[in-house]
Amino acid sequence: MSKMTIGFVPIARPTFDVEFAQNMTNRARARLAEAGFELIETDGLVMSLEDAQAAAAGISAESPDLLLVFHASFADSTMMMCLAEWVDCPLLMWAVPEERTGARLRLNSLCGLNLAAHALTRKGYLYDYIYALPESDEAIEKIKTVALAASAGKKLQGTQIGRLGENPTGFETCIPNYDLLKNRLGVTVVQYDLMTFIDQVEQHRSSPGSFVEVAHKLEAQLENYSELDQTATHGTLATFVTLRELAAKDKLSGFAVRCWPEFFTEMGCAACGAMSLMNQDQIPCGCEADVNGTITHLILQWVSGEPAFNSDIVDFDLGENTAVLWHCGQAPLSMADPARPVRGTIHSNRKLPLLMEFTLKPGRVTLARLSETAGDFRLVIGSGEIITAPPSFSGTSGVIRFDRPAKDVLDILIREGLEHHVALAYGNHVSVLETLARQLDLPILYL
């Protein structure tokens, strides 16, 4: 993961203890550098509107992931508002406590933060804040969280998702809102004709050399690869190669693919295995032309640094307080439980390969969904533990025990009319997703 960049601006007023304010600033700067952040900054304390304008111009030109304004001492809101207006990125303010000595209030940092927060709120700016000494580990963790969320939000701007074909009839969960995606998130959907894409896949299938390397790799990963219908399997591998080439050519960050029925009826193969391979390569692919699912997948990939997976929630056992996450066979192979075999298989309904079949490895997971049910977006967030369990169904499946009662999750899923796809990534990324939702001004719904 690339180093996150922070525009660091220490503000102060000369009527307070400037030497102490500079000491606090030096300590904060040292902690940020120690934590691995790349700082974009100006020399000295920013103590006037003119200083703030100069700092804003220099930092804005570098397009940082995050603007961190350090309240080294009291300052009124004028410098803060200048910075917020000029630097177009998420904003984090940091104020410091000081010792209650019974003598002079040397910094009055918190009051400056309070004034800035009020002014920003009146003008509709979004922000977050820290109140801690520079040596605080919690402060550094908060900055990491906010910066990671900011980096993900920045990547959304200009992201292009390829949509192959249309969503199947009756799958309103997969209807994209092009204008809302562009205006709210900066994401563009590039539409492709599915049959034209399938023609390109056929050209690759007639040239096995284009996917021979992938085939050899799968022979080592799937214990039954040689037993599969090779003509159909080659169609899946040709689909993978064609997707990969299209992503590179048109600068696409992911795909939403109409995976049925055409891949089965026209190609005689399944697209699922190709999407699994793309997901493993961190070019997310979602089925049923689900654009919002692919975007959620992409966000989880960015915040986790690992492949993610779009699944259905297909079963609840309320007595055991568990549910089953499942899909036909498009999960990345890195999610497979190492204690169980990984196999290639055929689609359970269409009876054609190639799909990946395995159980998800045990461990903590974060779930998310960019949801649109009533004309605007909200971010659905959940968490839980994938537990060791035998395969629930054919394809890729995992048994999850949510961090809240399964009955509550089921009620939310149905009563809120949520989409049937939810993305998951291993690890605990809830705080980053919460922060990203605040930065994007998205309501949060917890599973």
| 391-410 pLDDT, tens digit each | 999 999 999 999 999 999 99
Domain identity same for 196 and 310 = yes
Domain identity same for 112 and 199 = no
For strands 396-402 and 355-359, give the pairing.
parallel
Contacts of residue 415, defined as CB under 8 A and 6 or more positions apart, other chains included, come to none
User: What pairs with residue 91 in β-bridges?
Assistant: 67
User: What pairs with residue 385 in β-bridges?
Assistant: 364, 401
Tokens read off for 190: 């590039």
| 178-220 pLDDT, tens digit each | 999 999 999 999 999 999 999 999 999 999 899 999 999 999 9
Domain identity same for 241 and 365 = yes
| 410-445 pLDDT, tens digit each | 999 999 999 999 999 999 999 999 999 999 999 999
The answer as to whether 152 is a domain residue is no
Domain identity same for 168 and 113 = no
Give the pLDDT band (50/70/90) at residue 30. very high
Whole-angstrom Cα distance, residue 350 to residue 342? 21
The answer as to whether 361 is a domain residue is yes
Tell me which of 276-285, 315-324, 369-378 is least confident: 369-378
The answer as to whether 144 is a domain residue is no
pLDDT mean over 40-58: 94
Quickly count: other Cβ atoms within 10 Å of residue 434's Cβ.
16
Domain count for the chain, please give it.
Answer: 2
Backbone angles phi, psi at 440, to 5 degrees: -90, 0
- Predicted confidence at residue 386, as pLDDT, reads 98
- Predicted confidence at residue 33, as pLDDT, reads 93
Domain identity same for 282 and 430 = yes
For strands 377-387 and 363-372, give the pairing.
antiparallel
pLDDT mean over 367-384: 94
Are the C-beta atoms of 419 and 292 separated by less than 8 Å?
Answer: yes
Last residue of a domain, one of 136, 168, 184: 136
Domain identity same for 287 and 423 = yes
Q: What angle do CA 375, 377, 382 make, to 5 degrees?
A: 135
Domain identity same for 175 and 241 = yes
Last residue of a domain, one of 68, 103, 136: 136
HEC assignment per residue over the chain: CCCCEEEEEEECCCCCCHHHHHHHHHHHHHHHHHCCCEEEECCCCECCHHHHHHHHHHHHHHCCCEEEEEECCCCCHHHHHHHHHHCCCCEEEEECCCCCCCCCCCCCHHHHHHHHHHHHHHCCCCCEEEECCCCCHHHHHHHHHHHHHHHHHHHHCCCEEEEECCCCCCCHHHCCCHHHHHHHHCCEEEEECHHHHHHHHHHHHCCHHHCHHHHHHHHHHCCCHHHCCHHHHHHHHHHHHHHHHHHHHHCCCEEEECCCCHHHHHHCCCCHHHHHHHHHCCCCEEECCCHHHHHHHHHHHHHHCCCCEEEEEEEEECCCCEEEEEECCCCCHHHECCCCCCEEECCCCCCCCCEEEEEECCEEEEEEEEEECCCCEEEEEEEEEEECCCCCCCCEEEEEEECCCHHHHHHHHHHCCCCCEEEEEECCCHHHHHHHHHHCCCCEEEC
The answer as to whether 63 is a domain residue is yes
The answer as to whether 141 is a domain residue is no
- Predicted confidence at residue 2, as pLDDT, reads 64
pTM of the model: 0.94
- Domain harbouring 380, CATH code: 3.20.14
Give the pLDDT band (50/70/90) at residue 28. very high
- Predicted confidence at residue 149, as pLDDT, reads 96
Domain identity same for 128 and 184 = no
- Cα 48 to Cα 52, 207, 382, 387, distances in angstroms: 6, 67, 45, 57
- Predicted confidence at residue 373, as pLDDT, reads 86
Domain identity same for 175 and 101 = no
What's the gap between Cα 332 and its chain centre? 16
pLDDT mean over 151-167: 96
Contacts of residue 428, defined as CB under 8 A and 6 or more positions apart, other chains included, come to 364, 366, 383
Range of the domain at 59: 5-136
The answer as to whether 331 is a domain residue is yes
- Domain harbouring 55, CATH code: 3.40.50.10940
Considering only CA atoms, which of 89, 84, 83, 66 is closest in space to residue 145?
66
- Predicted confidence at residue 392, as pLDDT, reads 95
The answer as to whether 50 is a domain residue is yes
Mean pLDDT of the chain: 96
| 91-149 pLDDT, tens digit each | 999 999 999 999 999 999 999 999 999 999 999 999 999 999 999 999 999 999 999 99
The answer as to whether 432 is a domain residue is yes
Contacts of residue 227, defined as CB under 8 A and 6 or more positions apart, other chains included, come to none
- Predicted confidence at residue 374, as pLDDT, reads 73
Using a pLDDT cut of 90, give the percent of the chain over it.
95
Domain identity same for 351 and 433 = yes
Last residue of a domain, one of 120, 136, 152: 136
Domain identity same for 276 and 413 = yes
